[in-house]
Chain A
Amino acid sequence: MDKQAQLEKRNALLAAIRKVGGDPADLPFWEGCEAGVFLLHRCAKCERHYWPASRCVEHGDEAMHWVEASGRGRVYTYTVLHHAYTPATRDKVPFAIAVVQLEEGPFYHSTVLECAVDTVAVDLPVEAVMMPHESGLTLPLFRPGRVRPGRVRPGRVRPGA
């Protein structure tokens, strides 16, 4: 892809982020989703991982960069929405929103696929699947998966990220 096309793609994604009230600081994350990789913001000094984009609680902005993460975690807590707050969710309820604790530590709010709402449970191991969304963004959804106990993938610096 030439530079011009890259720039246009980036601007389209930024516009999509702004349209849904998202944070432009998270642009690399959404670019990653489009490319099929789950990125987290990480401090190279202490290896703490963050999501959404943050400054490190200890090292500020000194060494923050986006790294590829495992995309795996466990359901930490969840809710099942039965009440449709907007017309858009009227035909979707009931649906579960899970807070996934990623292997690297941060929480990620998402939905769980391939899993009836009454089988979502705390500690359920899950892994990310990238799915296109009507907003124009590609969203990580999660499906029941395997978690290697205790393993935290160190994460590598993505070229260009």
Chain B
Amino acid sequence: MRGRCAIVGLGITEQGVGLGLEGRELRARAVDLALADAGLPREAIDGYIRAHVEREDLRYMGLSPNFSVSMMTGGATPVFTVIAAQALIESGQAELVACVYGEAQSASAITGKPDIGSYGYGYPTLYGLLGAAATHAFHARRHMHLYGTTSEHLGAVAVTQRNYAVKRPGTLGFGKSLTLAEHQASPMIADPFRRFDCTRNTDGGIAVLVASAERARSLRKKPVYVLGAGTGHNIANWHSGEVFEHHDNIAPAKARAFAQAGMTLADIDMAQLYDPFTISPLMQLEAFGFIKAGQGGPFYAEGGARPDGAMPTNTGGGQLSAYYTTGFTGIAEAVLQLRGEAGEGQLKKAATSLVSGHGMNAGVQNTWAHACMILGNNP
């Protein structure tokens, strides 16, 4: 599978709170930006994948693809759309697939309605369990119990990512530094998560265009090749009673992605890991094996995820400090870095990136789906 398809266009709309734009408009603008980025006309899109539910996008956008499908597997959806796009291209169903996201998530906050109050977890809601913070807090608390991870360790994740965002125009954290003391002083949301351990809902759209590697080489932008991809579902760990030790079920996803790519961890230059909360990249770095189990806290505290660290992680600020596009944030950042378009935040060594997605609120948990891929600028 290695390098047979590539991301050839990237569109990132304005990202922020209370933009006053509907999700559909954000998606339309993201597609327009991606087409402009790729130097392709509207009619070139012959496949359309919407994360999460497609209604009337095509008519509104003036697109005429052969198919339009919706995909929903939580925050793993964006990576999954690229995997699906690859499969659709490889099976001859399309030549240019648009993977599109755009939501006005902050709109409900503006109307005064609870922003994620609608997140229900089956019977646990009867006890007052609401929101993704609480369900991820279960993993954080367990990690603290097993390994002695502290709130300051989680704070180190928040500060590390903010330091990336401070230098990145267009992110919510641009120019706004964050200290560990400020993190520690921020109010508790769902223990052990303080406000700065949590992402907030933002409005924004992102579209990526996927084509065959051959086609990619004839287009204007440096192709970002899909070198490998894999999926894993935490239900296996639920069945074995180990779900709270596993933020994601990374083992099968990692095995498949790295086998397809013919690569090892040592070949990865940076990681863009799904980060709804600070515990998330920390536990994923452990689960992928970049560091030993339980070492995530000290790793962040000692600067391991910084630009000059052993594994630069969430190098555009991530969803915690840049903007929350339910998993497209990491894909966009990988594309920018691999093209050499990350500006002041450009890493010196940026030939490959691991990208992950995670989530899916369903029933009694919110940590079900995982999808990862390895992107690179050499096929």
Contacts and interface: CB of A to CB of B under 8 A. Distances in A.
B134 A97 contact: yes
A70 interface: no
Nearest to B120: A21
Given A77-B142, A109-B129, A26 B123 contact: yes
B141 A82 contact: no
Contacts of A99: 138, 244
A85 B127 contact: no
Interface residues of A, number: 36
Contact of B126 (A85, A92, A107, A133): A133
Nearest to B137: A79
Contacts of B141: 77-79, 122
B41 interface: no
By secondary structure, the B interface counts as mixed
B198 to A, nearest CB: 9
Contact of A22 (B116, B122, B131, B192): B122
A85 B120 contact: no
Interface in A19-35: 20-23, 26
Contact of B122 (A52, A77, A86): A52
B34 interface: no
Nearest to B138: A77
Contact of A80 (B126, B191, B244): B191
B115 to A, nearest CB: 8
Contact of B244 (A76, A81, A135): A76
Given A109-B123, A109-B364, A137-B126, A85 B145 contact: no
B142 A97 contact: no
A83 B142 contact: no
Interface stretch (B84-92, B182-190, B215-223, B280-288): B182-190
Contacts of B192: 79
A46 interface: no
B131 A111 contact: no
Nearest to B145: A122
Interface in B86-125: 114, 116-117, 120-125
Interface of A: 20-23, 26, 52, 57, 76-83, 85-86, 88-89, 92, 94-95, 97, 99, 101, 105, 107, 109-111, 122-123, 133, 135, 137, 139
What are the 3 closest A-B residue pairs judged by CB atoms, nearest first?
A: A79-B137, A109-B124, A80-B191
28 contacts: A21-B125, A22-B122, A77-B138, A77-B145, A79-B134, A79-B138, A79-B141, A79-B191, A80-B188, A80-B190, A80-B191, A81-B128, A85-B117, A85-B131, A86-B117, A86-B130, A94-B191, A97-B124, A97-B127, A99-B138, A99-B244, A107-B364, A109-B123, A109-B364, A111-B127, A122-B142, A122-B145, A123-B145
